[in-house]
Structure 1
């Protein structure tokens, strides 16, 4: 992939639409990057930090409340989008609902042609949950690149955070051609530029000519 010569303006991101199913999603054209993660991993906070907005992605004290696929356009350019996928994990909802979420997530990841990359958000203190690994398996089947944000890095001392990063890298060696990862802190603004570079690489890559 060639390095993009232009940087996107993530602060221009604005809400586009919420979709309960794949069929309700916007037209499957252009390029989009989806964010997925356990309900308490700080996914909404990460999206808000990356777009320098306080409430673009709604944060909730009740993990897993969001059950919709939320799309955000970058300004007026609806051909480039950020996507907030439903959280998974600690949601206090019936098992039937959880299974329905999982089905919609699988449909989206397997069938969405405009999806260029997947950002998986994990708490640096509790990475690679069972469902995190399921997501990586879906991405592997689709040959979809993944970038992992190890969030809440401010909760650990610098040495411990770097050690946790290396441990996750070691566990993901079988996927090293598909997966990249970094430390991230919404509270401190750590890792924003690195994450923007990854998003730029996916959203600005000229797939139309391939």
Structure 2
């Protein structure tokens, strides 16, 4: 996709703070520090549309962006980071669940995982939840440039087996080399038709 514009719209906690559901929406979810912000920035060819941080757990609101005045990207808070205060963690679950279950223009969720980590129960629960609510999802495995080709192949298989997913349904991605960028865009465009 040729990106002509990409803009931050708003941050929200409650549905009344969401922007109007005027465009098909793609949400980005995953464990803290898997590269959600970096993936979005790479997709829209911008360095700082979405703020990135080396400190996990920084995104604590639902952040909305508009791309080409045609599609909305939504950056969801990362989950699974131990150092986030307990009261903040308790708010995240209901906040994200409300968004995912109530947003009528949501077309799919991009679930992002780090290739160096084996998916845990949080990822399995998240996929089960999406399936239960019939929300389509796209599986993206990031940071592939951090491993050798041999280790990438091994981890790709382990992740697919852990998720009981077809390896062909896991998009391998690297922001550094831009590997998988076209595949992610193709998967998104199929969901917003």
Distance 1:172 1:62, change over 3 A: closer
Distance 1:171 1:11, change over 3 A: farther
Find 2:185's aligned residue among 196, 199, 207: 196
Find 1:54's aligned residue among 35, 40, 47: 47
SS of the residue aligned with 1:23? helix
Unaligned regions of 5+ residues in structure 2, if any?
A: none
Q: Deviations over 1:146-192 (max 9, x none)?
A: 1111111111111221222222222333x66xx93211111111110
The count of residues paired between Structure 1 and Structure 2 equals: 192
SS of the residue aligned with 2:73? strand
**1:187 paired to 2:176:** yes
Distance 1:92 1:10, change over 3 A: farther
Find 2:91's aligned residue among 100, 109, 131: 100
Residue in structure 1 matched with residue 13 of structure 2 by the alignment: 20
Residue in structure 2 matched with residue 132 of structure 1 by the alignment: 123
Find 2:27's aligned residue among 12, 31, 34: 34
Question: When the two structures are superposed, what TM-score results if normalisation uses the length of structure 2?
Answer: 0.91
Question: When the two structures are superposed, what TM-score results if normalisation uses the length of structure 1?
Answer: 0.84
Instruction: Report deviation, 1:199.
Output: 0.9
User: What CA distance in whole angstroms lies between the structure 2 residues aligned with 1:9 and 1:117?
Assistant: 20
Residue in structure 1 matched with residue 145 of structure 2 by the alignment: 154
SS of the residue aligned with 2:48? coil
Residue in structure 2 matched with residue 5 of structure 1 by the alignment: none
Q: Deviations over 1:112-132 (max 9, x none)?
A: 111111101111111322222
SS of the residue aligned with 2:154? helix
Instruction: Report deviation, 1:11.
Output: 5.4
**1:164 paired to 2:155:** yes
Instruction: Report deviation, 1:98.
Output: 0.2
Residue in structure 1 matched with residue 61 of structure 2 by the alignment: 68
Q: Are the counterparts in 2 of residues 62 and 91 from structure 1 also a CA contact under 8 Å?
A: no
